[in-house]
Each structure stands twice: as structure tokens, then as C-alpha cells.
A and B are shown apart, each in its own frame.
Chain A
Amino acid sequence: MNTDDELARVVRDHAGRLAGSLVSLLGDFSAAEDLVQDAVEIALKRWPVEGVPDRPDAWLFTVAKRRGLDVLRRQQNYRSKLAAFEPPVQPPPDDRLRLIFTCCHPALAREAQVALTLRVVCGLTTAQIAAALLASESAVAQRITRAKRKITDAGIPYRIPRDDELPERLTEVLTVIYLLFNEGYLSSTAERAHSRDLVDDAEWLTALLHGLLPNEPEVAGLLALIRLHRARTAARFTPAGDLILLEDQDRTLWDHAAIAEATALLTRTAHRHHAPGPYQLQAAIAACHSEAPTWSETDWPQILVLYDMLLTLQPSPVTCLHRSIAVSYVEGSAVALAELDQLALDSYPLFHATRAQFLRELGRNAEARQADELAAERTANPAQLDLLRERLAH
């Protein structure tokens, strides 16, 4: 853990809370968010030199307030509200749930939801978001400006959705977090180790949401899913930074305590709610892998059942692709290949990589090499590419 990570964590723990309070106070999402962002920028410059203050929340609040009194000259009512506002002695009610629902409102474009959530709820700066999403800073800044304008102009509320709207809106929030998780998980290579770990933000956000909505089974499911994947982190890369496939990973390096905890969360959730949702099912699949002592002892029939349940809820060719791997262990590579070839996934590198694997298992090596080449042409992730190149070499 380096100082940057520590700073990021402190900021994340407090920036969203401050944003929540200030949006409530001013009733203006955009103005409040600007003040928090300014305070965060100043903190990231000064804390590394002066040290993190004893009360980071009070520090950020003071800076945001001073800044507000300074810049909001024309909005007299905002200034008087700010002037009268003191940080409460008791911790305020957690406004971050409202914040999350506003940032992930379905009337905002997906990219805007992602950028806003990272900035407003997790307290990332625009530069940090741009680096993490491999986008230019100006593009991210523009995305955020547009989204904030739409929140104000289109009347997107700062409110927890009503009970009858909650399931739909929660799905939207979970999609945004899952996207962050995937983005972070797939780009977490050794060479990018210095940049912001979005997986960490995704886990933090899900844990926050789970704390605020403890009875939502899919929130618990996503939390278990993320934690099960993260529990394998130490085994995912060679010291040189090359990706190691699940089947080749040294399972003694996995965080077995974390696996047990995530699995227990999943079991508790399953006992309380019938009919598991997609995140719980994906977590259950991850749990099957995590609990297998070796790759060959994996409970493939169970995994196949879980994939079938998942496909009933969410038909998707990518899920079919993953399912085909389980099929290859239960019914053999020929059946798996036949199922795989039904899928329209030509642009997806893992489709060709998986195809190559099945072909190799069937002794069709020339075709396997062709499939490997197709996979390599379609991937932008350096670690994935290395792995495919390595395979092409022999």
C-alpha cells in the first residue's frame, strides 16, 4: 500500500459524505459537487506535504465552505446557507444513497453514470477517472459537465426511489458498479499497477450499498462476486506481470479467509431470499471455482446448472461462451465446440481463445492456431495479448 492509496481511501471515505450533505444543504447538485471537487483537489496537493489532518472530514468541509463563500458570490442564498452550516457533532444521516441513485439515474448515459459515480460518490478527481478509464481528461470533464447540467435542467431528483421503482433503479446502480469492476479487473496488469484500482472502488461502493440496503439480495450477491474474484488476486499474475489462467493458478495463494467470508454471505442471502438473481448466480459460480481444491476437482455439473439458471434470467452469448467451458468438462470438447460455433461473437477475443482451446483438445492444431491469431487481433488488453502470444509461440 502506498501513500497515494491511503490518500485515495481517506478522500473516498469523506468526499461522498460531504457531497451528500452539501447537495442537501444547497439543493443544487452541480454547485455542491464543484465545491467538493475543489476541496479534494486541494487536499491531494496539500496532504502529501502536510500530512493527513486528524479530522479529514472537517478539513474538507472547511475548505469547501471557504471556497463556496468565495466563488458563490452571486448566489447569496447559497452563501448564507453555507455560512450558517457547521459540521454536525453527531454524524449526519448518510446521504450517499441518494447521491448514488442520482449519479446512476437511467436518464443519464452509461458513461456519464460511471464518471459521475466515481467523482461524486468515490471522490476521484477528473484526472484520476481519465487515467482509470483510459480516456482523455477533457473527454471525462465534458461528460461530467454535461451530466450535471442534465441533472439540473431535466429535473433529475436527488432522492431515494420509491419502493415500486427501487428494483429497476437498483439494477441500474449495480450495472454501473459491475461495469467499474469489470473495467478494473480486466485492466489490472502489472504495468498499470500504479494507476487507480477501480476494482477497489467497485468493492467499496458495493460494500457501502450493502451497508445502506442490507436486505437487497442482489447487492449482497455482487459484493460476494467481487470479493471472490479479488480473493484470487495474488495468484493472477506472474512476478513478471503475465496473466495466469484460473486453471494454472497456485490455489494456496488465494485468500481463503476472504473466500469463506464471501461464500458465507452468499449462503446467508440464499437462505433469506428465494430465486437468486444474476449477481448471486455469478457469485455462486465463482464460489464453486474458489472452493475446488484443484481445477480438475471443480464441480462442473453444478456450474453447468448455475449457468443454465443464469441464462434463463439473462440470455447472453457471452454467458453461453462461459457455459461452453463447463460443457467441455461435462460432455466433452466436441459438444462444447458445436455449441460455441452457434454463437455470434466474432469480435470478442475470448470467443476465439476458447475456440482455440477446444480445437487443441480435439487435436485440430492448425485450426487452433488460426483461432489464436483471430483472438490476438481482437484484444487491446496487454496481459491477455501476452497470454495469447505465448500460446502462438508453441
Chain B
Amino acid sequence: MSQPVVSIDNLVKRYGENVAVDHFSLKIEEGEILGLLGPNGSGKTTTINCLLSLLTYDKGDIKIWGKEMNPSAYDIKSQIGVVMQNVAVIDTLNVYENVDFFCGLYINDKKLRKQYVEEALEFTGLTDYKKQKPKKLSGGLLRRLNIACGIAHKPKLIIFDEPTVAVDPQSRNAILEGIKKMNKAGATIIYTSHYMEEVEELCSRVVIMDHGKNIANGTSNELKSSLISREKIRIGLPNKSPEILAGLKEINHVYKVKEDADDVIIKCDGGEHNLVHVLSYLTDNNIPFGHVTTELPTLNDVFLEITGKELRD
């Protein structure tokens, strides 16, 4: 079995009395896109900073490609690309110079660097803006420049720390597509976010963090299938008498019926054709109803069930 690209074992990071990362362990295999999901302050960025040796930690081991990571591990660093949460570019250099400068920290060969810079600009759609200063770029283009600076040297492990914060939907899609392409080209990706939709769409495996702990680990489907709630039906119901609600709860696989303003939310723990059964009950009993929607569980539901709070709380 090949060794993992990243191996974090029992990592502990404290800020005084506050434990930011609490005995966190993680292994990432080559070619994975690992989503590190958690609310703000859950310890994602601290874990990434420890992984990159930007932070000391109190306990634990971090290995990348089987070698211990430390600030002087230049051979490891040369294979890592980092896209920071905040835009990290130099305001006084233009787009091309920024990418060239950061790529130049990794690639010495001038000809190869030029080729890589051009490719990174094309990849991020910035070729037409290469003479522009960062201040002249829109928020989305600036994010793309941030990505170009992090990936121009063609790293084997790329860490994206919430790269789509404050990005318009069009740029967000472009960024996500770009990440998929990089992964197809062979890069292992760590993607931190608190946008569960992105993580569901992008990641082959998800780790959910809260209070510095690894509270769930698996593919998106694995995590969702571990939930009691498999289906959520929302119905606009004008008459919410106790008899009607009790009748709904007696339907097979329905385990919870909850009022929500003008609607009723019906949670089912499995089974098939749950919506058909619910609608049959309503029509058979001449109970008037309005709109009907059905939702499959999301990672937010996983998080809610594990922690009792919303992911974006």
C-alpha cells in the first residue's frame, strides 16, 4: 500500500487555555480531494497552518510524503501549493509579475518559469489582464490571481483555504472547475470551506471539524447515509390540527413531524416512495395542502445531527 500524501497524527494546538486543535488525526491519499469542513473557528485554518509549518503545535506528528514537515523541509515545500483564505498578492506588481515572483520562489529555470506562468494565467483566465495591477481587478479576478500565484509551479499537493469566500457565482464555478482539472492532472487537493455545497460537489472525501476535533470522516454519501433522516418532505399545510399531524406521523418510515411557520416538515428514516405515501394520506382524508418539496439530506444535516447546530452558525 502506498504511503499517504499527508499524515497528521494526534495533533494538538493550544492558544493559552483555548484548544484550537484537539487530538486531530487525518490521512490523505494521493489523488484525493479532501474537503475539510467546519464552521468558522472550528480549527481548519489552524490545522492547515500547522501542516504548513507556519505554526508550532503542542503535540502530534505531521508527515508529508512520509517525511516530517518542518520550516526547513524545502524539498517538501517545493511540491506544495497554497491558496490562502485572504488574497496574498503584491499590490505594486502587475498580474504577470505577481505570478512570476511567487512561481520564482519555486522554479529557478527562467524558460520553464515563463512557460508555467503563462499556463497559470491561461488556466485562471487572466491572460488578458496580465499587465493590470491587482487593485484594478474585480473581486473574482483577484481570487483567480490568488490561485494562479499558488499553483503556477505545478505542485503535487495543493491546499485551498476557503478560496471562494466573497466570490461571485460565476467565478466560484470557474474556481471549482479549475480545482477538478488540477486534480485530474494528478494533484492531491485539500479544500477547506464552510460551504457544504462546494465540498459535496468537489470532494472525494470529507472530514468535518468542530472545536478542533475530527467529528466525521468519509465520502459525502457515507456521511449522509449514516444519518437517521434520509428524506425531508416540506408541505404547505393550512390546517395543522393535532389529529392531522398524528396521522402523518403514523405513516410508515415517518419518524418526525415538525411545524415550521405555514409548513410542516416530515422527516423519514428511509424507505421508498415516502412522498407518495404522504400525499395519498392527505388526499384520502381530504386534507387541503399547498406546495410540496422534498429534500435529500445534506452535509449540513450531517453536521446538525452530530453537533446539534447549523454549519454556518
Q: Do A and B belong to a common assembly?
A: no
Q: Which residues of B come within 8 Å of A, CB atoms?
A: none
Chain A residues packing against B (C-beta within 8 Å) = none
